[in-house]
Amino acid sequence: YMSPEQCQGEVVCESSDLYSLGCVLYEALSGHPPYSGSNSFQVMTAHVSGTIPTIERSDVLSGLRVVVDTCLQKSPGDRYRDADSLIEDLNLVLHGERLRHAQSSGQRKLASIREKLKEGVSPSCCIGAFVVCLVLVLVTVCNTIPTTRGFEPTQMPHAEAPLIVIEKPEVKRPTVSKPELPKATVFESRHLALWDNAARMPPW
């Protein structure tokens, strides 16, 4: 039932006694001590760095589990400040009222985060976080924009143009009428007949 600080040879205080009392309460409710081992060294190591056990019995009030869990915290600052705070919370559990001093594991984690935020963040951490965010943004942008070599334009569906048949217009050539020769006169007809007869006569 030694507290973690006592196992490490550190200074003990009233909170160390409340840790030992929490071990007794845990064993009374669960039927076995919070930590066990094959030798004393293993048990002491579990008290220093082992996971805080939870009471598995379903008939144990949740408020009482929170009280025991608060007593078994590794750090003295996470336990009850004094015995009066522990007694007050035990009375609240018996009356079914909300605990005033104990905190659940979720509330302790939230309080721890708040304390770290109050302490502030060093400038080097801010610069490092900014550089990491900037690199992530650049990587995301580079992966989003396609490169010229690997980029293939989206081919639009090719629509076949309709076949247009242009009919050649029929060209009508103008009909050229032969000019009518003037009719020969009576004199000309006789003259032509004489020449024709002369051409048919045998030579002398």
Per-residue pLDDT, averaged over 60-67, amounts to 93
Domain assignment of residue 24, yes or no:
yes
Note the pLDDT of residue 111.
Answer: 47
CA triple 102-50-44, angle to 5 deg:
105
Q: In this predicted model, what pLDDT tens digit does every residue of 81-130 receive, in sequence order?
A: 999 999 999 999 999 999 999 875 444 444 444 444 455 555 565 566 66
Contact 37, 43 (CB under 8 A): yes
What share of residues in the chain are helix, strand, coil (percent, to 5)? 55, 0, 45
Note the pLDDT of residue 47.
Answer: 96
Domain assignment of residue 194, yes or no:
no
Give percent above pLDDT 90 in the chain: 46
- Token pair recorded at residue 137: 């943004």
Note the pLDDT of residue 103.
Answer: 73
Q: Can you give the CATH number for the domain in which 46 is found?
A: 1.10.510.10
Domain assignment of residue 79, yes or no:
yes
Which residue range forms the structural domain that includes residue 14? 4-102
d(CA 143, CA 122): 32
Domain assignment of residue 50, yes or no:
yes
Q: In this predicted model, what pLDDT tens digit does every residue of 122-180 receive, in sequence order?
A: 556 556 666 666 766 677 666 666 554 555 556 666 666 666 666 666 666 666 666 66
Domain assignment of residue 183, yes or no:
no
d(CA 204, CA 17): 181
Res 5 pLDDT > 80: yes
Note the pLDDT of residue 114.
Answer: 47
- Please give the tally of structural domains in the chain: 1
Domain assignment of residue 130, yes or no:
no
Res 11 pLDDT > 60: yes
Burial grade of 50 (CB within 10 A; 0-12, 13-18, 19 or more): middle
Domain assignment of residue 77, yes or no:
yes
Domain assignment of residue 203, yes or no:
no
